[in-house]
């Protein structure tokens, strides 16, 4: 039995394997204090909710409390391995500052109350606004961390009951472009690839995807392939020298905001050299001639000038991608949160379509998610889209949903595209949305231009409900706060980034009076008196399994078909990929294996959008373009970013994540090992930029943009020149705020979004920096102990204690 410090070595020990072999098992575990597995009363099946990988986990319970976790060796996703956030993040459940009773605002202060009083206030305000203004006054802003049962219940209540079009989640900030790009190329959401493609690929291309820190166990799988025989080549696109970039065969570090230019140059080279499957394109795609024509304008020399990447590096990357026998591509926030986000992500899809690299082992395409259940917000209608990938612009789809819900078709809003989150906050700013229910998210740290968000949520005319597990920056602005149960305290299902569905069982009771989110939504629906068209209660279920059965029927016959799944089938399993139905009773490893897509005009989820303006394509236009439901090749024209550096603000600011934290640290900041590993915000700058300005490691800097300021310690890194990086996790809930020091990266970001996906742009703000104090200055300017993710093979920082240690059983069973 090996004991490894998983803060110092976040990816654990290597278990090398070769192409086509099964990834060896390695069971990771961590128990509180001196406990052993013999001390555990029972183990409860679950999966991780602190990233999108979907690692299978068993929860250890003793004396009614969660006391640790163990990786599920039989799980198809992680083969027993766990991320440091998995190993240590569960401790937040036991934090003494959990919300345990509802709060209501009285005389300007939040005070404790009972559930009846809190819900009467919520329902009373909704009834007033429905009478006064109608459904357009009501908005719901949710998360990527609930369960299918929660999302589907909320979607039914919001769309089928209240009839509002204003429903979205913080998944708009991290996964909206994944969905949009898939809809543009395949006319429907749904990841084509599978994590098992890592086991077969000879080239892995990672576009804006720092997988080592965002999906740590997936990177562990890649590291084990790299350590084995016949390892894959890696092509990495990232302006930072991340652990992934350091392992790359070719690392392309473009200027922020130029991803489309770079992708077009790669496509230019692939087409020019004939590295495409002409027969596949002819049989299974439309738009090739236009793509080929448009890409002629983007030779590597043009891209080299715009992106500041050597033309020969572009050619070498194109050669690896274009000649790969089994190409796996992954995409994440480096593309999704940048200028022309959807256009850039679609370019990756274009490569796979023209190369015929879909539906075969190793030929995977993963437009990744950032959150554990982001896939389910999109599937279940909690991001505004209609459930089960139904098309809001197809009357037959709306009629079918009305049949499932037993409501009149007119009751389901389908007069316009769903309202995205950025527009919802604008409507609240303008006063048309007057009730906003915020669920499991902290927009006063995560949304761009925080001063504006504070002003919106602080309006007296806006009634704000916050449903969460901890006090946050956002609960301070609430009229009502509802205490929620979280992972381990309720039962439900959720789906990871490669369509793997897991069951998470309730292990312990929630603290105090906290309730499961689904139960809160059902209570709200009943108090509001929501009925179906024959006068029966709109929500027909009362427990999670009943909700899942309802969702199965809603998904039946749709691309994300869950009708073959059940709680009994998921219990004890290692996860099952949808679609799972009578035709595929054991699930489906890869989509589009036969070149058949979900793109038929009568079946597809969306007809597409203009890549520059975001204007929807009409049904008539789509039928003319793609009558046979093939994959769609879309050319993207490069456009410069909206906010460029200049004399006053000479840097480009990008934001991102660190391995040791998740979102706004409400959970990970309460896990001692994770908090000790990354205690404070920092700013990264290249060695050349630091030297030019006389700056040194640990100096306290002020970073400013036209919108605000942040103070952070300098970390000199391998980031490209002219760019500075801030992690976005840090807010103010764990500070007294007395010094007024800016800490949240989104004090600086701009209110701007991609025209297609409507995802905010967090990676192209113009910024300036100046030194406030040197690293050897006064005590208040002393260096902090912040740790970044170590590079494989390096000597990473440690917390210096056994509290960070976890057990690994390599090749063994737990």
Q: Is 476 helix (H, G, I), strand (E, B) or coil?
A: helix
Quick one: 118 exposed, middle or buried, by C-beta within 10 A (0-12, 13-18, 19+)?
buried
pLDDT in tens, 469-504: 999 999 999 999 999 999 999 999 999 999 999 999
- Listing from the earlier edge strand, what are the strands of the sheet with 480-483? 109-112, 103-106, 480-483, 463-468, 435-439, 138-142, 167-169
Q: What is the dihedral of CA 573, 575, 578, 582, to 10 degrees?
A: -10
pLDDT in tens, 721-756: 999 999 999 999 887 543 446 899 999 999 999 999
Determine the pLDDT at residue 777.
58
Contact present, 148 and 731 (Cβ < 8 Å):
no
Determine the pLDDT at residue 735.
73
Query: Angle of helix 341-355 relative to helix 288-295, nearest 10 degrees?
Result: 120
Q: Name 224's bridge partners.
A: none
For residues 387-413, give the mean pLDDT: 97
Which pTM was predicted?
Answer: 0.95
Is residue 790 scored above 50 in pLDDT? no
**String of DSSP letters for 320-375:** HHHH-SSEEEEE-HHHHTSTTHHHHHHHHHHHHHHHT-SSBTTB-EEE--SSTTHH
For residues 702-718, give the mean pLDDT: 97
* CA 347 to each of CA 260, 304, 341, 669: distance values in angstroms, whole numbers, following the listed order: 8, 18, 10, 37
For residues 125-147, give the mean pLDDT: 97
Region of 702 please: left (phi>0), alpha (psi -120 to 50) or beta. beta
**What is the rounded average pLDDT for all residues in the chain?**
94
pLDDT in tens, 312-363: 999 999 999 999 999 999 999 999 999 999 999 999 999 999 999 999 999 9
Determine the pLDDT at residue 741.
60
Which residues, including other chains, have CB under 8 Å from residue 48's CB and lie 6 or more apart? 54, 55, 57, 82, 83, 85, 86, 372
Q: Read off the pLDDT band of 625 (50, 70, 90).
A: very high
Contact present, 177 and 755 (Cβ < 8 Å):
no
Determine the pLDDT at residue 795.
32
| Cβ burial 785-800 (10 Å sphere, 16+ → b, else e) | ebbbbbbbeeebbbbe
Tokens, residue 573: 């399993």
pLDDT in tens, 7-65: 999 999 999 999 999 999 999 999 999 999 999 999 999 999 999 999 999 999 999 99
Determine the pLDDT at residue 739.
44
Contact present, 194 and 498 (Cβ < 8 Å):
yes
The helix (run of H) or strand (run of E) holding residue 26 is strand 26-31
User: Considering Cα of 787, then 793, then 798, then 803, what sign does the dihedral take?
Assistant: positive
DSSP state, residue 643:
S
Q: Pinpoint the alpha helices (H) of 192-252.
A: 211-214, 216-226, 243-246
Q: Distance (Å, rounded) from C-alpha 683 to C-alpha 725?
A: 6
Q: Is 766 helix (H, G, I), strand (E, B) or coil?
A: strand
Determine the pLDDT at residue 805.
75
Is residue 802 scored above 50 in pLDDT? no
The helix (run of H) or strand (run of E) holding residue 289 is helix 288-295
Q: Read off the pLDDT band of 406 (50, 70, 90).
A: very high
Tokens, residue 15: 């278990």
Tokens, residue 438: 């915020």
Instruction: Quickly tell me which residue has 């259940």 as its tokens.
Output: 373
Q: Distance (Å, rounded) from C-alpha 686 to C-alpha 524?
A: 52
For residues 429-437, give the mean pLDDT: 98
Q: Read off the pLDDT band of 783 (50, 70, 90).
A: very low
Which residues, including other chains, have CB under 8 Å from residue 365's CB and lie 6 or more apart? 191, 192, 193, 328, 329, 348, 349, 352, 357, 358
- CB count within 10 Å of CB 430 equals 9
Determine the pLDDT at residue 736.
57
Tokens, residue 377: 């917000």
- CB count within 10 Å of CB 94 equals 14
Tokens, residue 35: 């406990």
pLDDT in tens, 267-316: 999 999 999 999 999 999 999 999 999 999 999 999 999 999 999 999 99
Contact present, 492 and 518 (Cβ < 8 Å):
yes
Determine the pLDDT at residue 2.
56
Quick one: 813 exposed, middle or buried, by C-beta within 10 A (0-12, 13-18, 19+)?
exposed
Nearest by Cα to 286 from 600, 687, 26: 600
**String of DSSP letters for 59-82:** EEEETTEEEEEEE-TT-TTTTT--
- CB count within 10 Å of CB 405 equals 24
Is residue 392 scored above 90 in pLDDT? yes
pLDDT in tens, 240-262: 999 999 999 999 999 999 999 99
Q: Read off the pLDDT band of 119 (50, 70, 90).
A: very high
Q: What is the dihedral of CA 255, 256, 257, 263, to 10 degrees?
A: 60
Which residues, including other chains, have CB under 8 Å from residue 686's CB and lie 6 or more apart? 716, 717, 718, 719, 720, 721, 722, 723
Phi, psi of 199, rounded to the nearest 5 degrees: -70, -15
């Amino acid at each position: 039995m090996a004991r490894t410090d998983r803060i110092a070595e976040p990816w654990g020990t290597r278990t090398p394997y070769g192409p086509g072999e099964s990834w060896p098992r390695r069971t990771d575990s961590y128990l509180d204090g001196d406990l052993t597995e013999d001390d555990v009363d029972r183990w409860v099946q679950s999966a991780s909710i602190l990233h999108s990988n979907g690692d299978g986990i068993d929860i250890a319970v003793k004396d009614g409390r969660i006391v640790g976790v163990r990786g599920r060796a039989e799980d198809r996703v992680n083969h027993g391995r766990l991320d440091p956030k998995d190993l240590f993040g569960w401790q937040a459940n036991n934090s003494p500052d959990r919300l345990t009773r509802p709060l209501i605002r009285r005389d300007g202060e939040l005070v404790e109350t009972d559930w009846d009083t809190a819900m009467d206030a919520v329902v009373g305000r909704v009834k007033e606004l429905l009478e006064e203004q109608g459904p357009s006054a009501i908005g719901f802003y949710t998360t990527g961390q609930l369960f299918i049962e929660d999302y589907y219940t909320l979607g039914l209540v919001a769309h089928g009951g209240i009839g509002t079009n204003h429903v979205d989640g913080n998944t708009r900030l991290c996964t909206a472009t994944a969905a949009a790009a898939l809809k543009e190329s395949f006319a429907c959401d749904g990841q084509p690839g599978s994590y098992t493609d890592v086991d077969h690929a000879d080239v892995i291309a990672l576009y804006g995807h720092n997988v080592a820190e965002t999906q740590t166990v997936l990177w562990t799988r890649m590291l084990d392939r790299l350590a084995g025989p016949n390892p894959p080549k890696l092509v990495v696109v990232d302006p930072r020298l991340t652990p992934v970039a350091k392992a790359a065969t070719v690392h392309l570090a473009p200027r922020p905001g130029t991803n489309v230019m770079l992708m077009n140059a790669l496509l230019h080279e692939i087409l020019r050299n004939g590295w495409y499957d002409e027969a596949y394109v002819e049989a299974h795609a439309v738009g090739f001639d236009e793509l080929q024509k448009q890409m002629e304008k983007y030779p590597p020399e043009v891209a080299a000038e715009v992106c500041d990447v050597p033309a020969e590096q572009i050619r070498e990357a194109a050669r690896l991608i274009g000649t790969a026998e089994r190409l796996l591509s992954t995409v994440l926030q480096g593309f999704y949160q940048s200028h022309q986000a959807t256009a850039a992500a679609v370019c990756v899809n274009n490569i796979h379509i023209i190369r015929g690299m879909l539906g075969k082992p190793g030929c995977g395409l993963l437009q990744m998610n950032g959150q554990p259940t982001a896939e389910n917000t999109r599937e279940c209608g909690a991001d505004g889209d209609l459930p089960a990938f139904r098309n809001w612009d197809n009357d037959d789809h709306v009629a079918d949903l009305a049949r499932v819900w037993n409501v009149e078709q007119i009751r389901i809003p389908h007069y316009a595209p769903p309202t995205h989150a950025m527009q919802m906050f604008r409507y609240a700013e303008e006063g048309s949305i007057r009730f906003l229910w915020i669920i499991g998210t902290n927009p006063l740290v995560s949304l761009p231009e925080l001063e504006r968000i504070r002003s919106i949520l602080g309006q007296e005319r806006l009634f704000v409900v916050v449903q969460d597990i901890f006090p946050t920056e956002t609960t301070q602005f609430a009229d009502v706060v509802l205490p929620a149960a979280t992972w381990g305290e309720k039962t439900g299902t959720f789906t990871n980034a490669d369509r793997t569905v897991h069951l998470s069982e309730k292990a312990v009771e929630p603290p105090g009076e906290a309730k499961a989110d689904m139960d809160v939504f059902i209570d709200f629906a009943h108090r509001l008196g929501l009925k179906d068209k024959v006068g029966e209660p709109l929500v027909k279920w009362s427990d999670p399994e009943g909700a899942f059965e309802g969702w199965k029927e809603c998904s039946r016959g749709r691309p994300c078909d869950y009708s073959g799944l059940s709680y009994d089938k998921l219990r004890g399993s290692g996860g099952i990929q949808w679609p799972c139905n009578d035709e595929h009773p054991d699930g489906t490893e890869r989509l589009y294996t036969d070149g058949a897509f979900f793109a038929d005009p009568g079946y597809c989820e969306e007809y597409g959008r203009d890549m520059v303006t975001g204007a929807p394509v009409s049904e008539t236009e789509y039928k003319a373009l793609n009558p046979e439901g093939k994959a769609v090749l879309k050319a993207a024209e490069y456009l410069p970013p909206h906010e460029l550096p200049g004399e006053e603000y000479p840097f480009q600011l990008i934001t991102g994540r660190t391995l040791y934290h998740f979102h706004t640290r409400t959970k990970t900041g309460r896990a001692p090992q994770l908090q000790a590993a990354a205690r404070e915000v920092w700013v990264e700058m290249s060695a050349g930029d630091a030297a030019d300005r006389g700056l040194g490691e640990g100096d306290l800097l002020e970073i400013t943009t036209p919108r605000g300021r942040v103070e952070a310690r300098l970390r000199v890194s391998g980031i490209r020149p002219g760019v500075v990086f801030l992690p976005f996790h840090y807010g103010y809930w764990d500070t007294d705020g007395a010094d007024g020091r800016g800490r949240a990266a989104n004090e600086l970001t701009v209110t701007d979004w991609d025209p297609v996906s409507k995802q905010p742009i967090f990676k192209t703000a113009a910024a300036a920096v100046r030194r406030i104090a040197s690293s050897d200055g006064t005590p208040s300017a002393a260096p902090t102990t912040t740790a970044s993710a170590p590079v494989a093979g390096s000597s990473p920082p440690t917390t210096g204690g056994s509290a960070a240690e976890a057990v690994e059983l390599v090749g063994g069973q737990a």
